[in-house]
Structure 1
Amino acid sequence: MIENFITSIRINHSRNVSDLEIPLSQDKRQHLILTGKNGSGKTSLLLELNKFFSTIDNGEIQNFQSYLTKKEQFKNQLSARLSSQEKHMLEDRLKSTENALAGFGGTEIFFSTEHLNIFNKYHSGEFILAFFDSKRHTRLTVPSGIKKIQLKKKYNINEKASTNFIQYIVNLKADRSFARDDNEMDTVEKIDTWFNRLETRLKSIFDSQNLELKFDRRAYNFDIITGEGESFNFNTLSDGYSAIISIISDLLLRMEAHNVKSYDLEGVVLIDEIETHLHVDLQKKILPFLVDFFPKLQFIVTTHSPFILSSVSNATICDLERRTITSDLSNYSYDALIESYFISDKYS
């Protein structure tokens, strides 16, 4: 089965970056880490990529390849001997085509399959596009009771799917109770497995093997209780954990309507300043955690952190300031990355 992922990004213009090609693997899904000092254009580039993805949502992507072909045709025709009238006509057509391409933002993104295939998969909900800006906090609505929610097959790239996360898992607990009363033990087991998997993931993030996710049936909420006896809920997490949960809960709900057991829907996820609010241990964990949890999502992230740069082997690193592209910094020591890659002294 052919998999769908980005194979290259051509930056035509994006703030301080222009005329730069970022090649990714042609054979397998490879993540992209964008780095560079403040002002080098990391966030601006993510916004340009987001603009390109919005044309997949609005359908304009169906014309993208046609525009590219026409652009090259007009350029080639202009190199031939032409009358002034013919030249003027072709120049007008070329300008019109370039204006149309400008609507896709300052980048051109190419996939392992045709753009039309990505368009079709996205609109059927089989290909996820999501964007997380640097201001990430968990703001989940606490329900007042059991209330049916309609999960969507497709969420828009900037849509916040996670708002109803607590309502969704409260409903799951209610479904389990009703299923047990009706002796539907297969459903009970399925829901138990779902919660066990979520709890296992939380243990990894919180680095607490005795962590427990406990349902408060009177408050229609969940408490996270660590092995050290600390107790908090999803809306009272520290900034770092809140930033992580905001991403996880959003991606979970984007996939839940498809009943995928391994959260293996394909897609591309943009995350700005992925290390925001995270202490060093979480900076080392966050990207490997997301890649493992959502194995068929391709992550494009921005960062200043050497701990992010070296956290996964299957990634291309692009320094926008120096216009350098490197594959796999996972074998570099943090000191080496700080001193050489960032050209600064580790003690400064």
Structure 2
Amino acid sequence: MKIESLKIKNVGGISSLTLDKFHPNLNIICGENGIGKTNILDSIASLFSFFDSDYVNVKSGFNNGYLECKIDGCIKQRHINKKYINLIDKQCVNIGDFNLLYLKVNRVFDYNKEGSIHSDPTFSDRANRNAEGLDNSDIKQWFVSRYLHSAQINNLTETQQKNIALAKKCFSFLDSRFNFSRTNTLNEIIVETPTGEIYFELLSSGFKSILFILLGVIKEIEYRFQEHHVQASEFDGIILIDEIELHLHPEWQGKVCSVLTKTFPKAQFIISTHSPHVIQTAEANEVIALSGENGHLEKRTLDIAPNGFKGWTIEEILMDVMAMKDTRTELYREIKEKFDDALDNNDIEAATEAYQELDKLLHPTYPLRALFKMQLDKLKG
């Protein structure tokens, strides 16, 4: 199941938006704060939910809104007004869909003591509440249960065995120095790290964030497809992730999309980001850069290299893709303007003072530092 196009009208802060030609594997949505990136993910999730009427709202000043997406050639629509939501499916899309998973920003979990191992829950209406996002409270319970049962012959199906094997590998995907070690009699998950063994809840926020995504998706696939025995690596549905870079060091931000697409190679990812490091790893047709005013949004046309953004600098992405006007601070711009004005006015004293301030701000190896010094020396004669 893949999304091909999306239309939003008067929903949340978005007045109008049409996105065509979604990539079948990876779609990275970027744009300034408040432009509507999360609103887009919420809208998609709402189209695949039945009970989650509160997660999308009509835009202020309007009486109704509209959502539509095309999925594998089929149309799914939702008409929204201030009193109720009416879902209309055309052709072959069902109300509530097991094939969509939504990971919101609540991805850091605290320590949770598991006093006992429970039986698998029944998610009879789980797919009807997709807009709520995945729950991070039951990952430990699922992992410990699967790991303990995997040691017993025939306790797990072949699919469950493969899924827990994949889950154990997830601890090493971003950093090979980290590995799943074992569970103990207190039902704790022990992780081997460069500084020793620790409980997995005591890992860094970034590590927990990525583990919640990877383990959360595997766990949810198992729970939702108990009767169909879907192997996580074969999942071909849609995975929405808001602010993919959340809590991640820039080095990991540059790896995370590759980890996701390699772990779930058949899934379609639609993610939002503020990170140029995430975009730097993208192919030419994987980035959706939004622009617009008063809620009327559009996908910007980018001058993209044939092989995407892999050869672009962070500064080039910030300015040309993310529409950042200047990568320097306001203080730098003010002092540089003083320096330029002093040069134009042949004011040696003001130019010297401004240069000394610039000298304290600039990176030690900044290439234009020598040019500024030459300009000042020329002014002094």
> Structure 1 length as normaliser, TM-score?
0.70
CA contact (8 A) 1:161 1:254 kept: no
Aligned match of 1:296 in 266, 285, 292? 266
Tell me the distance in 1 between the aligned counterparts of 2:232 and 2:103. Answer: 22
Tell me the distance in 1 between the aligned counterparts of 2:103 and 2:242. Answer: 6
Read off the aligned partner of 1:343 and give its amino acid letter: M
Query: Shift of residue 245 of structure 1?
Result: 1.7
In structure 1, the partner of 2:204 is: 238
Q: Does 1:214 align with 2:211?
A: no
Query: Shift of residue 5 of structure 1?
Result: 0.7
Query: Shift of residue 109 of structure 1?
Result: 1.3
Task: Say if 1:148 and 1:50 are closer, same or farther in 2 by CA, change over 3 A.
Answer: closer
Partner of 1:119: helix, strand, or coil? coil
Residues 320-343 of structure 1, C-alpha deviation per residue, up to 9 Å, x if partnerless? 348314574344332321243333
Partner of 2:40: helix, strand, or coil? helix
Tell me the distance in 2 between the aligned counterparts of 1:272 and 1:194. Answer: 24
In structure 2, the partner of 1:119 is: 93
Tell me the distance in 2 between the aligned counterparts of 1:112 and 1:189. Answer: 30
Partner of 1:320: helix, strand, or coil? strand
What does 1:61-100 correspond to in 2, within 5 Å?
none
Aligned match of 1:343 in 324, 328, 332? 324
Task: Say if 1:296 and 1:223 are closer, same or farther in 2 by CA, change over 3 A.
Answer: same
Residues 208-234 of structure 1, C-alpha deviation per residue, up to 9 Å, x if partnerless? 24x3312232211111112x2333323
In structure 1, the partner of 2:170 is: 201
Greater helix proportion: 1
Read off the aligned partner of 1:333 and give its amino acid letter: T
Tell me the distance in 1 between the aligned counterparts of 2:162 and 2:45. Answer: 35
Query: Shift of residue 296 of structure 1?
Result: 2.6
Task: Say if 1:232 and 1:12 are closer, same or farther in 2 by CA, change over 3 A.
Answer: same
Aligned match of 2:46 in 45, 48, 51? 51
Identity of aligned residues (%): 22
Query: Shift of residue 187 of structure 1?
Result: 6.4
Aligned match of 1:18 in 3, 15, 30? 15
Gaps of 5+ in 2: 54-61, 76-89, 330-381
What does 1:147-186 correspond to in 2, within 5 Å?
147-150=118-121, 152=123, 154-155=126-127, 156-157=129-130, 158-179=132-153
In structure 2, the partner of 1:70 is: none
Residues 106-152 of structure 1, C-alpha deviation per residue, up to 9 Å, x if partnerless? 432111232456634955x4x2x222222321357442133322364
Residues 210-262 of structure 1, C-alpha deviation per residue, up to 9 Å, x if partnerless? x3312232211111112x23333232222211221222222111212343335
Tell me the distance in 1 between the aligned counterparts of 2:245 and 2:257. Answer: 9
Aligned match of 2:217 in 240, 251, 260? 251
In structure 2, the partner of 1:42 is: 37
RMSD over aligned Cα atoms: 3.4
Read off the aligned partner of 2:253 and give its amino acid letter: Q
Task: Say if 1:106 and 1:120 are closer, same or farther in 2 by CA, change over 3 A.
Answer: closer
Task: Say if 1:312 and 1:169 are closer, same or farther in 2 by CA, change over 3 A.
Answer: same
Q: Which has the larger radius of gyration?
A: 2
Partner of 2:210: helix, strand, or coil? helix
Higher relative contact order (CA 8 A, sep 6+): 1
CA contact (8 A) 1:176 1:188 kept: no
Query: Shift of residue 200 of structure 1?
Result: 2.8
Tell me the distance in 2 between the aligned counterparts of 1:249 and 1:238. Answer: 16
Partner of 1:143: helix, strand, or coil? coil
